[in-house]
Amino acid sequence: MRKFIDKLVFGLCSLSTVLVLGILFLILIYILLNGITSVNLDFFTQLPKPVGEEGGGMANAILGSAIMVVIATIISVPVSLAAAIYLAEFGRGKIAVITRFMVDVLAGVPSIVIGIFIYTIVVLPMQRFSAIAGALALAMIMVPTLVRATEEAIRLVPQTVKEAGLALGAPYWRVIIEIVLVSAHKAIISGILLAIARVAGETAPLLFTALGNRFFVKVLDRPIASLPVQIYTYAVSPYDDWHRQAWAATFLLVMFVLLINLSVRYVTRNKSS
């Protein structure tokens, strides 16, 4: 009887694994099949056509996403690096404990709440939706992930390496920037790439910060299109052609995100021994 339960339980565990992997492939296959046929040159180069007209592309959305992600990265990386260095190297007292707690809190805040926050402090005063608001929202989402990843990367650098630098007469700040960060650079860059992959797919925080736009945008203080928002708008619309484009855009987005995730994992896989 005990043997029977033993076999049953482990059978169920294998089944669960098959189920989960099956769902993963199911989702990916649908995205692949529905999207790949619609990804053509038009998709990359054309602007959306007016409602009801077939055709057109998402060139502006792709560009918009790219612009906001780049700006968000530029804003969040220095702040996160500095905070991570502080937490890993200097932080012992109350301030470090509270800061670390706040980073954890920020990590758990739903992205839509961050969108509201940026709305209240950027969009309202500016009286308009803008790309910069969107970028700020994305940056705020990136910060906790970056701080955690970087802090851990810095902590992994052995104490002896730091001591060797100090023993040669280098000031602490140089040891940190030139030796510690350089030793940890692989892990830090992986962290940055993973944060970018995460934030490229975020929709909710952009809904009322960057809003959306049917044209190319050349300035930062106007609403701007983004791939995730465009997917959402098209997906909930009643038009088949827009649905088709939504699949194509999803395919593109998911490919991008998976590619980054898999390559980061591949590159860092030999590190753990």
Partner 1 sequence: MDKISPLAETQAINLESNFQGKKRWLMTSAADNGFRQLTKILAILLLGLVITLLISMIYSSRLSISQFGFSFVFSSTWDPVKEVFGALPFIYGTLVSSLIALAFAVPISLGVAVFLTEQCPIKLRPVILTLVELLAAIPSVAYGLWGIFVLVPFMREVVNPVLGKTLGFLPLFQGPAYGIGLLTSGLILAVMIVPITTAISVSSLTAVDPTQREAALALGATRWEATQIMLLNARSGILGGVILGLGRALGETMAVTMVIGNRPEIAASLLAPAYTMASVIANEFAEATYDLYLHALIEIGVLLFILTFIVQGLAQLLIRQITKGTKSNA
**Contact set for partner 1, span 162-201 (CB under 8 A):** 171-174, 176, 197-198, 200-201
Q: Is the Cβ of residue 187 or residue 200 nearer to partner 1 in the bound state?
A: 200
Minimum distance of partner 1 from residue 49's CB (angstroms): 20
Answer yes or no whether residue 231 interacts with partner 1 by CB under 8 A: yes
Which residue of 50, 51, 92, 108 would you call a contact of partner 1, by CB under 8 A?
108
Count of residues engaged in binding partner 1, rule: CB under 8 A: 89
Minimum distance of partner 1 from residue 219's CB (angstroms): 21
Q: Is the Cβ of residue 5 or residue 41 nearer to partner 1 in the bound state?
A: 5
Answer yes or no whether residue 107 interacts with partner 1 by CB under 8 A: yes
Minimum distance of partner 1 from residue 89's CB (angstroms): 8
Which residue of 38, 202, 217, 242 would you call a contact of partner 1, by CB under 8 A?
202
Question: SS3 string of the chain?
Answer: CHHHHHHHHHHHHHHHHHHHHHHHHHHHHHHHHHHHCCCCHHHHHCCECCCCCCCECCHHHHHHHHHHHHHHHHHHHHHHHHHHHHHHHHCCCHHHHHHHHHHHHHHHCCHHHHHHHHHHHHHHHHCCCCHHHHHHHHHHHHHHHHHHHHHHHHHHCCHHHHHHHHHCCCCHHHHHHHHHHHHCHHHHHHHHHHHHHHHHCCCHHHHCCCCCCCCCCCCCCCCCCCHHHHHHHHHCCCCHHHHHHHHHHHHHHHHHHHHHHHHHHHHHCCCCC
Minimum distance of partner 1 from residue 85's CB (angstroms): 5
Answer yes or no whether residue 211 interacts with partner 1 by CB under 8 A: yes
Q: Is the Cβ of residue 24 or residue 161 nearer to partner 1 in the bound state?
A: 24
> Are the beta carbons of 213 and 223 closer than 8 angstroms?
yes
Span 32-51, contacts to partner 1 by CB under 8 A: 34
Minimum distance of partner 1 from residue 196's CB (angstroms): 12
> Are the beta carbons of 146 and 195 closer than 8 angstroms?
yes
Binding mask 128-147 for partner 1 (x = CB under 8 A): ------------x--x---x
> Could you tell me which stretch among 48-56, 61-69, 213-221, 258-266 binds partner 1 (CB under 8 A)?
258-266
Answer yes or no whether residue 102 interacts with partner 1 by CB under 8 A: yes
Which residue of 63, 79, 189, 220 would you call a contact of partner 1, by CB under 8 A?
79
Length of the chain: 273
